[in-house]
């Protein structure tokens, strides 16, 4: 991809980035007002940006194969249906609707966060672009407002009904701590990652798209369960015991059971991390995956295969699907110093049995298979 000067004939005014994230545990709980535990990954999305004196927006992305030059639109004419550009359009539309004064701009987007991997490439783009616009136009947005705007762009313009975890992680997470986030209050604590363990993320090669129906269907099912039970969010049932779900028909009962038990697993995982209890943390990973596979039904055979292969490795404490599901990646917890070797063995076995080419993303630098 050409550099900014080659694309636009001048230098950028600002250059910012935001990380992708891996969610250690707490899946599909954020839009139910629950708890999540993500951490940042080394892979980043970078935005270089310079303002224009008119309302024209010109953007180029390194993640679009064969793109011959910047794509364009005029502020005030944002229309969904332009694929990756919708994330940019959604943000500019919401900023202007919110009374924020921005002009057109030119931007170059580059990223090492793989699309459709369950590692929040979309939130990394939203947050890095919003950071660049905030700096360029001196927008009076605090960090929480910035994360909320990113989520709204995805919900209201792109059409993916995601919760707030991804944008909060892109804004506040780092790669030395897990971000223990209450998605209802947006209060968070940073919990140190266990020093006696390696975190490994393996992308299955099965690409997901959260704008498609299955993810949004799961959120709608949770909302339907809330209406039947007379609560505003499934979080309201926390601590009530699973018997409170008896009035629900299937599959709503299974969906709600996953959310309630997953919230408990997040709380137990935070406790296990603080106590350095890696075997317990690993078992919570495996239990979380079973719940996503059987109750929430967001896993796919390739992901299940990766988790099964990880379960058979003596150095692995636990493994689970991470992200929205229907493809994407697994995160596994291994004994310190064994992560690279475990990742290589798993990648080879998975490639042999699935016919797909996995990518090992963490620890950084292990590479493709």
Residues 250 and 318 occupy one common structural domain: yes
Active centre residues (catalytic) = 166
Q: What is the mean pLDDT of residues 190-204?
A: 95
Residues 204 and 262 occupy one common structural domain: yes
Which pLDDT band holds residue 366 (cuts at 50, 70, 90)?
very low
Instruction: Tell me the residue range of the domain where 262 lies.
Output: 196-368
Residues 153 and 204 occupy one common structural domain: no
Distance CA 344, CA 368 (A): 10
Q: Output the domain CATH number for residue 343.
A: 3.30.70.890
- Relative to beta strand 56-61, strand 105-111 is parallel
Residues 33 and 142 occupy one common structural domain: yes
Residues 217 and 341 occupy one common structural domain: yes
Residue range 246-282, pLDDT digits in tens: 999 999 999 999 999 999 999 999 999 999 999 999 9
Which pLDDT band holds residue 117 (cuts at 50, 70, 90)?
confident
Which pLDDT band holds residue 365 (cuts at 50, 70, 90)?
very low
Residues 221 and 180 occupy one common structural domain: no
Which pLDDT band holds residue 213 (cuts at 50, 70, 90)?
low
Length of the chain: 369
Residue range 306-359, pLDDT digits in tens: 999 999 999 999 999 999 999 999 999 999 999 999 999 999 999 999 999 999
User: Which of 162, 189, 216 finishes a domain?
Assistant: 189
Q: What is the mean pLDDT of residues 27-32?
A: 97
Residues 354 and 216 occupy one common structural domain: yes
Distance CA 132, CA 13 (A): 9
Residues 136 and 228 occupy one common structural domain: no
Lowest-confidence segment of 52-61, 114-123, 202-211 by average pLDDT: 202-211
Residues 38 and 161 occupy one common structural domain: yes
Residue 119 is predicted with a pLDDT of: 87
Average pLDDT, the chain: 94
Residue 68 is predicted with a pLDDT of: 75
Cβ atoms of 32 and 222 within 8 Å: the answer is yes
Which pLDDT band holds residue 116 (cuts at 50, 70, 90)?
confident
113 has a pLDDT exceeding 70: yes
User: Would you state the structure tokens that stand for residue 285, as one six-digit string?
Assistant: 């990973």
Residues 78 and 170 occupy one common structural domain: yes
Q: How many CB atoms lie within 10 A of CB 250?
A: 7
31 has a pLDDT exceeding 90: yes
Residues 43 and 96 occupy one common structural domain: yes
Q: Which residues pair with 15 in a beta bridge?
A: 48
Distance of CA 258 to the CA centre of its chain: 19
Residue 311 is predicted with a pLDDT of: 97
What three-state secondary structure class fits 20? Answer: strand
User: Which of 147, 166, 189 finishes a domain?
Assistant: 189
Q: What percent of the chain has pLDDT over 90?
A: 89
Q: Output the domain CATH number for residue 49.
A: 3.30.230.10
User: Which of 158, 189, 220 finishes a domain?
Assistant: 189
Total domains, the chain: 2
The CA-atom distances, in angstroms, between 147 and each of 43, 139, 164, 301 are 19, 14, 7, 33
H/E run at residue 44: strand 35-51
Cβ atoms of 130 and 147 within 8 Å: the answer is no
Distance of CA 28 to the CA centre of its chain: 11
Residues 178 and 35 occupy one common structural domain: yes
């Amino acid at each position: 991809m050409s550099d900014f000067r080659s694309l636009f004939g001048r230098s950028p005014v600002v250059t910012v980035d935001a990380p992708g994230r891996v969610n250690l545990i707490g899946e599909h709980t954020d839009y139910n007002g629950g708890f999540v535990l993500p951490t940042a990954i080394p892979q980043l999305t970078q935005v270089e940006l310079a303002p224009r004196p008119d309302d024209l927006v010109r953007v180029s992305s390194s993640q679009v194969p064969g793109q011959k030059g910047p794509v364009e639109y005029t502020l005030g004419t944002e229309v969904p249906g332009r694929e990756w550009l919708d994330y940019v359009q959604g943000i500019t539309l919401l900023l202007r609707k919110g009374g924020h004064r921005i002009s057109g701009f030119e931007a170059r987007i580059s990223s090492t966060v793989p699309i459709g991997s369950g590692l929040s490439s979309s939130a990394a783009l939203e947050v890095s672009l919003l950071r660049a616009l905030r700096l360029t136009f001196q927008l009076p947005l605090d960090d929480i407002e910035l994360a909320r705007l990113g989520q709204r762009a995805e919900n209201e313009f792109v059409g993916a009904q995601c919760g707030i975890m991804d944008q909060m992680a892109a804004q506040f997470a780092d790669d030395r701590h897990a971000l223990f986030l209450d998605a209802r209050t947006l209060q968070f604590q940073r919990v140190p990652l266990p020093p006696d363990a390696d975190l490994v993320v393996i992308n299955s090669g099965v690409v997901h798209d959260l704008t498609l129906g299955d993810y949004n269907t799961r959120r709608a099912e949770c909302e339907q369960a809330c209406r039947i039970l007379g609560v505003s969010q499934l979080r309201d049932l926390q601590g009530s015991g699973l018997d409170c779900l008896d009035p629900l028909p299937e599959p709503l009962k299974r969906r709600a059971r996953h959310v309630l038990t997953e919230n408990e697993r997040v709380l137990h995982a935070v406790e296990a991390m603080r106590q350095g209890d890696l075997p317990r943390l690993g078992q919570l990973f495996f239990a979380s995956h079973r719940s996503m596979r059987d109750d929430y039904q967001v896993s796919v055979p390739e992901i299940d295969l990766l988790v099964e292969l990880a379960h058979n490795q003596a150095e692995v404490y636990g493994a689970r699907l991470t992200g929205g599901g229907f493809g994407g990646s697994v995160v596994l917890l291994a004994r310190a110093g064994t992560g690279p070797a475990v990742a290589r063995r798993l990648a080879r076995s998975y490639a042999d049995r699935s016919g797909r080419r996995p990518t090992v993303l963490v620890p950084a630098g292990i590479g493709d298979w």
